[in-house]
Amino acid sequence: SLFRLKDLEVAELGDSDVHVKMLAAPINPADINMIQGTYAILSPLPAVGGNEGVGEVLEVGRRVAALKPGDWVIPAGAGVGTWRTRGVFPEETLLKVPSDIPVLCAATLSVNPCTAYRMLTDFESLAPGDSVIQNAANSGVGQAVIQIAKASGIKTINVVRDRPDLPKLVERLMALGADHVVTEEMLRKPEMKDIFKSIPKPRLALNCVGGKSTTEMLRHLQPKGTVVTYGGMAKQPVMVPVSAFIFRDLRLRGFWMTQWRKDHAQDQESLASMMDALCQLIRRGQLAAPACTEVPLQDYKAALEASMKPFTSSKQILLL
């Protein structure tokens, strides 16, 4: 295994540093990809895994003004290494979050809900009554898309893979506010027309699968609609019929949250307004943490294995 649990000394607290006691950190697909070396970021080894999580500030260096002991913080970017009980981080690598939101919401806030929020906001100007289609709808991002869209009056068509416990999954996504849940196979069936009697065809498609799944979603998009690709779980390219470009002028775009953060590093306003909007939704009960399984750090091996099983609808969260 690439992993070991090690006891390390906590680093000295510099003037601009913050000593953090980590509370909880999820295992996301990107974390696994980083470890396998198949991601766009390579950490110099030895490295601590984990790009996301929430911690409580224990003490701050004398130049730190914006944070104080007792505050909750999440990483401002990728690659800080959150799978640890304690860490000393430079102040600018942390974002303060309200401590009145549930700990699992805070632990899973900086990647999936932010990705969902940006994709719903930045590509098409959607109004209440408009619709969005997405695949892997039961993923962390998928669950956030359903809830954020619902809160804005946007309809969602949610595509999932067929599975043994499909009715249970459909029920869970409907409870989150999904308008329609369909399997990949159903995308090809004439019954899809029935869905569009009650809601308009989508202007936006969100793809984290690739391959046939994307091609099937494309068919249902409005002319000039946009497909945003943010993952490739099928490890297959996105295939688009030429006619979709010529006769329907579809747009193909990509999104990577890490890049968005880099591009907006000087723009604190857009980051703050997004975090604010998400925390408001959480407080109002309109955005819940994804289905989670809480695992103590010493059982990390089991958690890693579970996170790589197919058809898992539960995110593994390390309790630190």
CA 202 to CA 290: how far, in whole Å? 24
**How many CB atoms within 10 Å of residue 216?**
19
Active site residue 39: yes
CA 279 to CA 285: how far, in whole Å? 10
List Cβ neighbours of 97 (8 Å cut-off, separation of 6 or more): 54, 72, 73, 74, 106, 109, 275, 279
Angle (nearest 5°) at CA 238 between 172 and 132: 40
The encoded tokens of residue 162 equal 């067929």
| Ramachandran angles phi, psi of 171, nearest 5° | -60, -40
Tell me the residue ranges of DSSP E strands in the chain: 17-26, 54-60, 72-75, 86-90, 94-97, 131-134, 155-160, 180-183, 204-207, 210-211, 226-229, 236-238, 251-254, 292-296, 315-319
Contact 99, 21 (CB under 8 A): no
Instruction: Give the residue from 252, 203, 249 showing the smallest Cα distance to 227.
Output: 252
112-122 vs 140-151: helix crossing angle, rounded to 10: 50
Positions marked catalytic: 39
